[in-house]
Amino acid sequence: MDAMHTDTSLRPPAIPPAPHVSASTMRAPSLWTALGLIALYFVLQAVGSTVIALILAVALGFVRLDQGVTQVDNSIHTMLEQPGMQAVLVMLTLGLAASSTLLLTRHRWPHLWSLAQPPGLGFARPSRPLYLALAIAVGVAAPLLGGQLTQWFAHGQTVSQDIQQLGADTPLAWRMPLVLVVVSLGPVVEELLFRGVLMSALMQRWQTGWAMAASSLVFALVHLPGLQWQWFALPDLLLLALLLAWLRLRSGSIWPGVLAHGINNLLAVAAWFVVAHLSG
C-alpha cells in the first residue's frame, strides 16, 4: 500500500482559475452609453456647481438656513462677486465632475482601461516616444492654425470665451491653481470621453475616418456654449479634435492627446498672465 501512496508534497501548487471576465466588460461601449456618459459629465458640472456654491455660501456665512429662496440666490451671487470665488467654484466643480466620470468609467470598463487600441480606452504607454514630441507640436500648432481659420470665418468679429472672462476676473494668486486644473484634469477627462469612450463606440459601427470625424464634431459642438455659440469657432475645434484623434489611434495611447490638449489650453489661458504683467 505504501508503494501506491503518492507524495503530494512534490506536486506543483495548484494554479488558481483565471478570474472570470464577463463579455460586457470587454465589449466596446455602445453609442448611447458613450453619449450618456458625456451628458452625465456636463450634468454633473451643472448640478455640482449649484450644490457646491450653496455649501460654500453657507460655510462662509453668506447664506443663513432661515433665508428664503430669493434671499439665498441673491446671497450666492454676492459671494461669487468676491475676488477669486468664481475660480474656486469652477475648480471644485470640475474636480467633482471629472473625478466622478473617471472613476465611473474605470469601474464600468476595467478590462478596457489600459488596452492600447479601441475598444480599449488607451491608458497605456505610447507605442513610440516620438508621439510625445508630436503631441507638443500639435499642441502648439493647432491653436495657431485654428486661430487663422477662425479669423477667416469670423470676418473681423471677436471670439470670446467664458474661460477667458473668468481668468480676467480672477486675482493673480488664484490663476495658477486654475491653470493647473484647466491644463491637466480637463484634458484627461475629455480625452477619455471623446477619444476613448465615444470613438471606440463609433468605430464599432463605422470606418475609422468616419468615427474620427463624428467624435470630433461632437467634441466641437459641446464646446460651443463656452464660446457663446459663435459658430465660426467650430473649424478651430474640429481641427484640434481631429489631430487629437489621430494621435490617439497612431500612438495607441491617450496620453499624447492629453499632452497636446493641455498645451492647447495653456496657450489659450496664457493671456491671463500677460495682461496681469502689463497691468502691473
Instruction: Give the tens place of pLDDT for each residue, 204-214.
Output: 999 999 999 99
Residue 250 burial by Cβ neighbours in a 10 Å radius (0-12, 13-18, 19+): middle
The residue ranking higher by pLDDT, 17 or 261, is 261
| CA pair distance 266, 183, nearest whole angstrom | 6
Contacting residues for 151 by C-beta, under 8 A, at least 6 apart: none
Q: Model pTM?
A: 0.84
Q: Is the pLDDT score of 117 beyond 60?
A: yes
In the chain, domain spans:
28-279
Which amino acid is residue 106, in one-letter code? Answer: R
What are 34-88's pLDDT values in tens digits? 999 999 999 999 999 999 999 999 998 898 878 888 888 998 999 988 888 888 9
Closest listed residue to residue 231, CA positions, set 144, 159, 142, 143: 159
